[in-house]
Structure 1
């Protein structure tokens, strides 16, 4: 099976265009509709509306498809854009897709069927690398070379060599270096660019002849490989003599076959990548889904690749992270996304030069952080078994909120290093969301500060931070030690708090931490109706600051 969205994305817009998103996004089979008697009983079908020319026929096909649980219907223009057809697809929850005018139904059936067969073959095994087979392209290169009686290379749209012919009798130095490096050398690229070759490939379907160049570069015959309006690559033939027009036409027909093959390879590799992403996501969410997950030798860490600021959708989506990690040497990153948060699974290897390890990822994150200080890599504790990956993922996710609060070291940290912040955050969350503060000494101090304009919450917190030493606590508050002692006596009289009891001291410390870590919530309450409140005589400096707390808390 394959997702509708993945199929459209894999074909790159050269064949299909989404019109209406349906309620079902998984394709299990393909059915070519030739008439009303076509069997549509199989749910999850991609229904190909061959011969549907009227809006009425299209609406009826959509209704039949909805009754049988089809995922989507493919129609041609202009009927696919008819308002009644679009409205029907929307109401029925059936996906509606346009087949581009320059694509054929036969090609679509072949491409979709090959993708489904490929994904079915992969169902029982973990996809760890792209399974695409480029061997057929070498056969195409040999066939093209036979047509023009000259060496041939097949390149993608970025001048990367995909295949080349065996024939080398008239090869020049540029061709040899291209084959050895699997990429056209930069100097040769500049030569062809100066001749307008690449601009022509982007704009035209017509073959182009390129004259000889410097360093004994022989003439070339270049045939664009296109699918619709999209350039997929090109066929380059060394052209020591003028290739006859009939051979050029034959080579052009070969290019159309190569285009279909490239589309199939791209779609298959896209399906493989999507399957890997889905399987890894399931393993990170549910321990039972991780039993058959094949990974490098463990232990592993799950890393949240989050922005250190903001809470919205990341400017670094999974696609961008995949590109960055590949550029740094990880050919098949173990990446997925959960709630739009990119997640990576790395090995807990101590060697910084081990690609795909936590130490290696820290180096990558530091490099990115130098350019964009929002980047962060937040790792859960090591997972010794695949079933523990979901626990590591939960821990990594927990660190995201702390990073966005400015409580963690950037650009990377681990759950173990941040354990104290995690403990305080968990305790504070329980305290603030529960009923523990409805009564008790901290609530009494909050209410007193609110009514009298005092700073008892800040004072007690600073006193505890400095282990009950009046002089150091007074320095932290910028007040005289006698003022601090007077305040502490008032606090004790007000609350009856016994700070010699270690458990009570721990409890009040956790409650104060929860309040001070959520100052916006506290201040909104503390400042309510205090505009005209009389200042307490114990208040000396309203800009006093609790040690270790980055923001002053005004009473």
Structure 2
């Protein structure tokens, strides 16, 4: 038998949220009587009749006393007195999304509990066939991004736009633009059945039904029809949407669970806890070489948006994981990396860095390189928003050298005489040493006139009291200044 966490995970966060965990295995789903008398051990108790916090609290007491597994309540009842009562008796509490139909939820929960395999609602193509039989026209089932998830077996009477949609597994851009200009997608957000007349270019009429669950638009069904459809047939077509919605929600929850497991596995490989070679094979990342890309994304909303952006248009061989506010993407060096680099190397892009190309067995090294390069971008030492380990080697050498010697050389020699002076003393000496024999370049780096540079260097030389004509002196001073600046 499943436990309550498994059930909530399979149904998905769009409908259910576990507020208080429980240890009792789940066996059945019941719609509770007002007094909870019909509940039993292992039941998922749906608080349909609970209208007030007092009702919910009484139901929690009754269900907990009979050994039920969990109490399902809509907000705000799930956070009221019932929560404290449930915790006291070891009863799990699950919050149900406000717009969820109790009838659909019962069907969904029982399907999850009774399902022997991964597809409790049957084949999505079978549902497309059933919808086509209801409306009497060829049907496609599409997600919220107009990608084709399934289509009816018969496409008799379909036009060229439908053929292109099925072949390309998504609605072509020009076709999308036509429907968008007619307001079809705007109407999808609020209508039940939408009829789209024939287009001037010969695109046949469509009957469109939105697929919703809990107030969220999950996708849509499109039927290519010869003309206006009777109200009865249109309503029958719309009535198939809730079943398709349950299927899509289940598929999404399953995909989310798979992504979560893959992310955990990849995270372990990136930090050297498991074999990177085995993980790369398990996630079908290819034989390598691979690139590890680290993206600064401390905000959860930013991480989700970036995950969608990184996962789109780069190919199937892309794996994502998150750790410590950094989103890691692992892509093939010759496949996904060029596309990902182009997507990130934009002026308004997030702060990001990539390690060098590594063998699948060296994912931990690739992650460490990406992290080091990312730290330099964050500190403003490397030019962003995207730094690549291979290209930033000079910055890396200087930073590593500075980190290694800063404590050992910082207080040695005449450089300490500049302490307490205006910052331009050290800045002027630093740029003068970096551009030997080229005062114009040094002045340009400082944003001053070459004559101003010469004047300042005179002040610095007098205060420093060191022989700047000696090459070893110049190297020693530059090392100290680099250590001070780059540490």
1:121 aligned partner = none
2:41 aligned partner = 38
2:106 aligned partner = 106
- TM-score (structure 1 length as normaliser): 0.64
Tell me how far apart the structure 1 counterparts of residues 358 and 405 of structure 2 sit (CA, whole Å).
Answer: 30
Residue aligned with 1:167, SS: coil
- Please report how far the alpha carbon of residue 77 of structure 1 lies from its aligned counterpart in structure 2 after TM superposition: 2.9
2:329 to 340, 344, 348: 344
- Please report how far the alpha carbon of residue 332 of structure 1 lies from its aligned counterpart in structure 2 after TM superposition: 4.9
2:126 aligned partner = 139
Asked if 2 retains the 8 angstrom alpha-carbon contact of 1:449 and 1:457, the reply is yes
Asked if 2 retains the 8 angstrom alpha-carbon contact of 1:114 and 1:264, the reply is no
Residue segments in structure 2 that go unaligned for 5+ positions in a row: 31-37, 444-449
Question: How well do the aligned residues superpose, as a CA RMSD in angstroms?
Answer: 5.2
1:251 to 218, 230, 237: 237
1:164 to 142, 151, 154: 151
2:292 to 284, 294, 302: 302
2:320 aligned partner = 335
- 1:119-138, aligned counterparts within 5 Å? 136-138=123-125
Q: How many pairs are equivalent?
A: 458
- 1:376-455, aligned counterparts within 5 Å? 376-386=351-361, 388-410=362-384, 412-429=386-403, 436=408, 440-441=411-412, 445-446=415-416, 448-450=417-419
Tell me how far apart the structure 1 counterparts of residues 114 and 136 of structure 2 sit (CA, whole Å).
Answer: 32
User: Alpha carbons of 1:27 and 1:404: their partners in 2 closer, same or farther (altered >3 Å)?
Assistant: farther
2:446 aligned partner = none
- Please report how far the alpha carbon of residue 84 of structure 1 lies from its aligned counterpart in structure 2 after TM superposition: 1.9
What's the CA shift string for 1:330-389, capped at 9, x where partnerless?
34532222222222223344xxxxx313x44434434x23xx2x5454222343342x22
1:478 aligned partner = 454
- Please report how far the alpha carbon of residue 257 of structure 1 lies from its aligned counterpart in structure 2 after TM superposition: 1.8
2:336 aligned partner = 356
Tell me how far apart the structure 1 counterparts of residues 161 and 423 of structure 2 sit (CA, whole Å).
Answer: 82
- 1:466-545, aligned counterparts within 5 Å? 478-479=454-455, 486-488=462-464, 490=465, 509-517=478-486
Residue aligned with 2:288, SS: coil
Asked if 2 retains the 8 angstrom alpha-carbon contact of 1:399 and 1:422, the reply is yes
1:321 aligned partner = 306
What's the CA shift string for 1:213-237, capped at 9, x where partnerless?
5455555444443324233333334
- Please report how far the alpha carbon of residue 88 of structure 1 lies from its aligned counterpart in structure 2 after TM superposition: 6.4
Asked if 2 retains the 8 angstrom alpha-carbon contact of 1:115 and 1:267, the reply is no
Larger Cα-atom Rg: 1
User: Alpha carbons of 1:90 and 1:133: their partners in 2 closer, same or farther (altered >3 Å)?
Assistant: closer
- Please report how far the alpha carbon of residue 284 of structure 1 lies from its aligned counterpart in structure 2 after TM superposition: 0.9
User: Alpha carbons of 1:171 and 1:146: their partners in 2 closer, same or farther (altered >3 Å)?
Assistant: same
- 1:538-553, aligned counterparts within 5 Å? none
- Please report how far the alpha carbon of residue 102 of structure 1 lies from its aligned counterpart in structure 2 after TM superposition: 0.8
Matching of residue 50 in structure 1 with residue 19 in structure 2 = no
Asked if 2 retains the 8 angstrom alpha-carbon contact of 1:326 and 1:332, the reply is no
Residue segments in structure 1 that go unaligned for 5+ positions in a row: 40-46, 119-131, 307-311, 350-354, 493-498, 519-555
Matching of residue 268 in structure 1 with residue 287 in structure 2 = no
What's the CA shift string for 1:457-492, capped at 9, x where partnerless?
66875786578999x99989524988766545x459
- Please report how far the alpha carbon of residue 396 of structure 1 lies from its aligned counterpart in structure 2 after TM superposition: 1.4
User: Alpha carbons of 1:424 and 1:314: their partners in 2 closer, same or farther (altered >3 Å)?
Assistant: farther
- Please report how far the alpha carbon of residue 397 of structure 1 lies from its aligned counterpart in structure 2 after TM superposition: 1.1
Asked if 2 retains the 8 angstrom alpha-carbon contact of 1:145 and 1:152, the reply is yes
- TM-score (structure 2 length as normaliser): 0.71
